[in-house]
Amino acid sequence: MKRREFIKNTGLGAGSILTAGSITAILAACNKNNMMNGGNMNMGGQPVPVTEGNFSRLLPIPNTVTGNTALTAQATMANINGSNISVLGYQANGILGPTIRVNSGINANINFQNNLSEKSNIHWHGLKIPANMDGHPEALINPASSFNYQFPINQRAGLCWYHPHPDGATAKQAFKGLAGLFIINDAEEAALNLPSGIYEIPLVIQDKRLTASGIAYNPSMGEVMSGYMGETVIVNGEASPYTEVATRFYRLRILNGSNARIYNLALSNNADLIIIGNDGGLLKNPIAVKNIILAPGERLDVLVNFAGLNIGTDIFLESKMFDNAGSAQGKQGFKIMKFKVTQTVSDGFTLPASLSSVNAISPSSSSKTRNFIINAMQMSSGMNMTGIHRINDKIYDKSRIDENVTANATEIWVFDNSQGDEPHPMHLHGVHFQVLERSGGRAQLLASESGWKDTVLVMPREIVKIIIPFSTLTGVFVFHCHNLEHEDDGMMLQYQLA
């Protein structure tokens, strides 16, 4: 059940005060609805266990297109885990759209044709582009209609992505298959001679709920709380895949394209993951770590060195258990995909000591601090049931501008989840930011959070402070939780840059 419909049905609006009576009414309505759907309540935010496959299917690599292309959202078929099932795609026969690869400085011109039976649009996640091209939740394209997305690429090399963003239907459309990568290259990156061609592997990690005929999307009330997770983890559209590798460095471009699931990525041989970039492009220096927490919407650019391994060795990319992430996340370790060493080669690549210039923005340059309480309404019925996901006690309202920001201003925004029980990956459209500080919870910044970000994970008990240099791209943009069930539930506000 969608929270918004639910509010409408119970007559509760954003400003309503919940009385004991209305809570009982909500619970009754909730139970009734779920009984009618035959669903389970899953009230406490239960984990959805992952079922590993046998890593016998080849990792698909999405086809690559230029910035002058066409995408058609459509109902189509995809072969996942050995079955041909109905999905949504941006091209025929598969769930992921093509990888759009452009050089910085070009003008993208992408014709979007909506052949779905409902409204949709495309948001270019991570791209700093004009508001009218950003895929705002109200800028929708009707079924059987098209729209030309045209925008200049004025940003450094990095891994962005695209997905639908219609108000209230983002989660469903994305979960059923609509997403794709958007890679920007530039001269600075090229000069590093990073592993490329077959040695640069895009990995879109998603969890899906597969049925015999398609991808199920019917979140219960509890699954709106925790976010909708699936039992099958797919990479580039295939369940538990493998890929063959040679004994050398590889560059993995990783997107967590899941609606809600957070991964704690690691290699099964405990080898280093060498982080060279994240949401906003290259880091200043490579940082070697053993594991990386990656929330929905976040991206990673990592180098992995398979040199010295024997032919026939299997290395798994896995997700390890993790703490501090509420009752539904991190409770299980599982394998995601397999790297099978099949070829011995010599590798001329040497890891550069320095990658890019990233200047830390001084907190003293901020002209304003904005505080955002991010949590869900607490209902004290003894069952620790959470309520409507909100930011500063507000749910998304298209007709309300929540924050007015001056063009070119630098601001500090604080996301306060100190009272919350759920992880919230907070994402801003239209900007990249730096993460300044995390207090509470994990109480530290991670290597993967250095450099430039557009999405930052705020775990329960945490307060995370970011600093944002706003640009001159004036207009109305949204910012929201990238747990897509939370986002569709209303955990999204608007800022206007003027």
Query: From CA 429, how far away is CA 427, in angstroms rounded?
Result: 7
486 binds, among Cu ion, ligand C2O, none (CB under 5 to 8 A by kind): Cu ion
Query: From CA 231, how far away is CA 233, in angstroms rounded?
Result: 7
Query: From CA 179, how far away is CA 172, in angstroms rounded?
Result: 12
248 part of the interface to Cu ion, by CB under 5 A? no
480 part of the interface to ligand C2O, by CB under 6 A? yes
165 binds, among Cu ion, ligand C2O, none (CB under 5 to 8 A by kind): ligand C2O
Interface region with ligand C2O, contact rule CB under 6 A, candidates 227-235, 325-333, 371-379, 475-483: 475-483
Query: From CA 100, how far away is CA 65, in angstroms rounded?
Result: 5
**Which residues are CB-contacts of 3 (< 8 A; sequence separation ≥ 6)?**
224, 388, 389, 395, 488, 489, 490
Among 3, 128, 156, 163, binds ligand C2O (CB under 6 A): 163
424 part of the interface to Cu ion, by CB under 5 A? yes
Of 250 and 477, CB closest to ligand C2O: 477
481 binds, among Cu ion, ligand C2O, none (CB under 5 to 8 A by kind): Cu ion
For residue 383, the surrounding DSSP H or E stretch is none
Q: What is the DSSP letter of 392?
A: T
DSSP character string of 103-124: ETTPEEEEEEEE-SSS-B--EE
Q: Judge residue 360's burial from the number of C-beta atoms within 10 Å of its C-beta, 0-12 exposed, 13-18 middle, 19 or more buried.
A: exposed
**Least CB distance to Cu ion at residue 223 (A):** 13
Residue 294 one-letter amino acid: L
128 part of the interface to ligand C2O, by CB under 6 A? no
Interface region with ligand C2O, contact rule CB under 6 A, candidates 40-48, 196-204, 390-398, 476-484: 476-484
Other CB atoms within 10 Å distance of the CB of residue 369: 12
**Least CB distance to Cu ion at residue 423 (A):** 7
Kindly state the number of chain residues that form the binding site for ligand C2O, as judged by CB under 6 A.
Answer: 10
Give the CA distances from residue 237 to residues 47, 140, 204, 208, 340, in Å, rounded to whole numbers and listed in that order: 22, 26, 8, 10, 19
Interface region with Cu ion, contact rule CB under 5 A, candidates 239-247, 314-322, 421-429, 440-448: 421-429
Query: From CA 61, how far away is CA 42, in angstroms rounded?
Result: 35
Interface region with ligand C2O, contact rule CB under 6 A, candidates 74-82, 100-108, 239-247, 477-485: 477-485
The two tokens of residue 333 are 């370790």
DSSP character string of 3-55: HHHHHHHHT--TTPPPPHHHHHHHHHHHHHHHHHHT----TT----PPPP--S
Of 125 and 253, CB closest to Cu ion: 125
432 part of the interface to ligand C2O, by CB under 6 A? no
Query: From CA 162, how far away is CA 101, in angstroms rounded?
Result: 12
Among 3, 128, 156, 165, binds ligand C2O (CB under 6 A): 165
Kindly state the number of chain residues that form the binding site for Cu ion, as judged by CB under 5 A.
Answer: 6
Of 120 and 243, CB closest to Cu ion: 120
Query: From CA 161, how far away is CA 125, in angstroms rounded?
Result: 5
Query: From CA 439, how far away is CA 392, in angstroms rounded?
Result: 19
Residue 68 backbone dihedrals phi, psi, to 5 degrees: -115, 90
Other CB atoms within 10 Å distance of the CB of residue 439: 15
**Least CB distance to ligand C2O at residue 127 (A):** 10
Among 123, 248, 389, 424, binds ligand C2O (CB under 6 A): 123
Please, which of residues 121-150 interact with Cu ion by CB under 5 A? 125
Give the CA distances from residue 45 to residues 136, 222, 226, in Å, rounded to whole numbers and listed in that order: 29, 6, 5
Among 139, 229, 481, 484, binds Cu ion (CB under 5 A): 481
Among 3, 253, 394, 429, binds ligand C2O (CB under 6 A): 429
**Least CB distance to ligand C2O at residue 131 (A):** 13
297 part of the interface to ligand C2O, by CB under 6 A? yes
Specify the 3-state DSSP secondary structure of 132. Answer: helix
261 part of the interface to ligand C2O, by CB under 6 A? no
Among 486, 490, 493, 497, binds Cu ion (CB under 5 A): 486
3 binds, among Cu ion, ligand C2O, none (CB under 5 to 8 A by kind): none
- Beta bridge mates, 340: 244, 314
**CB-nearest residue to ligand C2O:** 125
Among 2, 299, 338, 427, binds ligand C2O (CB under 6 A): 427
**Least CB distance to ligand C2O at residue 123 (A):** 5
Of 53 and 297, CB closest to ligand C2O: 297
Of 30 and 260, CB closest to Cu ion: 260
Report the sign of the C-alpha dihedral through residues 359, 363, 364, 366, in that order.
positive
Of 170 and 243, CB closest to Cu ion: 170
480 binds, among ligand C2O, Cu ion, none (CB under 5 to 8 A by kind): ligand C2O
Q: What residues make contact with Cu ion under the rule CB under 5 A?
A: 125, 424, 429, 481, 483, 486
Q: What residues make contact with ligand C2O under the rule CB under 6 A?
A: 123, 125, 163, 165, 297, 427, 429, 478, 480, 482
